[in-house]
Structure 1
Amino acid sequence: METTAFEALLRRDRAIMICRLILISALGWCYVMTGAGTGMSMRAMTRIAISPGAFSSDTAMPQRWTGVYWAIMVAMWCVMMIAMMTPSAAPIILLYARVTRHEQKSGRMADGVVPTVAFACGYLSVWLLFSILASILQFSLARAGLVHAMLMWSLNAWLSAGMLFAAGLYQFTPYKLTCLRQCRSPAHFLSSHWRPGHLGAIRMGAKHGAFCVGCCWALMALLFVGGRHELALDRWLGDASAC
């Protein structure tokens, strides 16, 4: 009876967590596809991409980045990263919850609330930091006239070539392969980096997030080549792979 009750609890927790992850990803994609607070939906950006000659590079470009505009850009990057990366992180989040419940049942961990949210927050906090750095890079490139301020596509052939070359070269580096192994092996990651408690969950989530950034930053950098509409649509159609 105890085993049956425990398995029922696992199934319930797993179903709830899956629903939460799906909801988070869906809300993130809705936010991005409707313009992420920039006033221009993804559909409008796609029309512009098809007919770029009808669009001036200065259109929809703010005169200066105010505090509000900075917040919009960071939020856009952050929500876009959450929408893209939550499905990739779902296996390790669900496995972490299952392992923690098992450890509690076996008596090796104290009973209590499973800190799955803490693990997810640690993971997403790394992508928040990435979003801040990406916003700073976007501001710098737009100010230099190298990328479009709103659509983020490259306005400079040398910048496009350099980013494409760097992204391709990075795929063959040992660091990329190390990060990829960590992201593709959730069980190995948890066994190698296990830390108990809520603080340990945050640390593990942040460490796994760092490995995922190591896997995906080059893909995200290509956003400055093709523009925000292109990367978002590629992910939406499943043509690009995060981890």
Structure 2
Amino acid sequence: MSAPAQKTTTGSDGLAPAFAAVRVRLGLVAALLALAGLGWWWTARQMGGMDQGPWTSLGALGWFLGIWVVMMAAMMFPSVAPTVALYSRMTRHRSPLSPLLFAAGYLLTWAVAGLAAFTLAAVLHRISGDVLAWDRAGRWVAGATLVVAAVYELTPLKDVCLGKCRSPLSSLLGSWRDGRWGALQMGAKNGAWCVGCCWALMASLFALGVMSLTWMAVVAGLIALEKTLPWRRVATYATAALLLALGALLLAAPDAIPALTVPGTDQMTEMNEMEPMPS
């Protein structure tokens, strides 16, 4: 009787580390999702009443970068959580801070992308003034941006970048770096693949209203579907079709697009009477 009991105890002890590792990974995913939820709440508070439709003013650099990083955490953490959990599994015998540093490196890359977008907008404004105003070229550039984003969904580069985001194991193994600095570097590299995958969708968000919580949620949902839906081609082709339809509507009948703030309308007038954006 004693031998079987000893085997049972040994087997239970042998499974304990595996169960502990699973709990750690689930806790990490839960923490990332909680941070995403907190990001949505904070973003909703900060951006309330600031949606001015396509090419909404970005405000001052410091304010924009702060809200941009929180936006990226809110939009991207749900879809990147499995990658961070995989990295956590691969580093379970190393520093427990490594997964958090990985996530920080990921956000750092998106912060650089946000800085590039702000710089481009500032340079364009300095060169051409209010060329992106709705009654000038703004409407046409916004529509063209959506069409370009739809086309990008079907390109080989999009396919490669999306593949890295959906199946990150080979990418992690091929660029492994030890230590905390290595975790930050690997997170930044994963973020670069994500930027390559999603830059056109983020450009679409600017074209629809970067301060719009509704369109922010729509773009975040499209990103999550592309990265997690088992039918990869269905996700990308459906996203391309939606972007193309939105681009056509924006050019032909912008009032028909739900939740779109069209400059010059009564809705826009009401929003202009609200508190102005911080500068």
TM-score by length of 1: 0.74
Task: Find the structure with the greater CA-based Rg.
Answer: 2
Q: Of residues 113, 119, 143 in structure 1, which corresponds to 2:102?
A: 119
Note the alpha carbon deviations across 1:155-193, whole angstroms, 9 max, x for none.
623312331232122223222111011001022222222
Q: CA deviation at 1:20?
A: 1.4
Match runs of 1:194-213 below 5 Å = 194-213=176-195
Residues 82 and 124 of structure 1 are in contact (CA less than 8 Å); yes or no, is this contact kept in structure 2?
A: yes
Aligned to 1:85: 76
Q: CA deviation at 1:98?
A: 1.2
Q: Of residues 109, 114, 135 in structure 2, which corresponds to 1:131?
A: 114
Aligned to 1:24: 35
Note the alpha carbon deviations across 1:218-239, whole angstroms, 9 max, x for none.
0110123211215214247x3x
SS state of the match for residue 34, structure 1? helix
Q: Distance in 2 between matches of 1:118 and 1:187?
A: 18
Change (3 A) 1:223 1:61: closer
Aligned to 2:275: none
Q: CA deviation at 1:216?
A: 0.4
The aligned length equals: 209
Q: In the alignment, does 2:201 pair up with 1:223?
A: no
Higher relative contact order (CA 8 A, sep 6+): 2
SS state of the match for residue 241, structure 1? helix
Note the alpha carbon deviations across 1:55-76, whole angstroms, 9 max, x for none.
xx9xx979xx6xxx32111112
| Percent identity of paired positions between Structure 1 and Structure 2 | 36
Change (3 A) 1:214 1:88: same
Q: CA deviation at 1:214?
A: 0.3
Note the alpha carbon deviations across 1:36-83, whole angstroms, 9 max, x for none.
4xxxx1xx457x76xx9xxxx9xx979xx6xxx321111122211111
C-alpha RMSD of matched pairs (Å): 2.9
Aligned to 1:11: 22
Q: Distance in 1 between matches of 2:57 and 2:116?
A: 20
SS state of the match for residue 46, structure 2? coil
Aligned to 1:189: 171
Structure 2 counterpart of 1:130, one-letter code: A
Residues 91 and 186 of structure 1 are in contact (CA less than 8 Å); yes or no, is this contact kept in structure 2?
A: no
Aligned to 1:164: 146
SS state of the match for residue 103, structure 2? helix
SS state of the match for residue 3, structure 1? helix
Residues 79 and 223 of structure 2 are in contact (CA less than 8 Å); yes or no, is this contact kept in structure 1?
A: no
Structure 2 residue runs without a partner (length 5+): 1-11, 228-279
TM-score by length of 2: 0.65
Q: Distance in 2 between matches of 1:160 and 1:32?
A: 23
Q: Distance in 1 between matches of 2:154 and 2:184?
A: 30
Aligned to 1:73: 64
Structure 1 runs of 4+ with >6 Å offset: none
Change (3 A) 1:158 1:71: same
Residues 36 and 78 of structure 2 are in contact (CA less than 8 Å); yes or no, is this contact kept in structure 1?
A: yes
Structure 1 residue runs without a partner (length 5+): 105-110
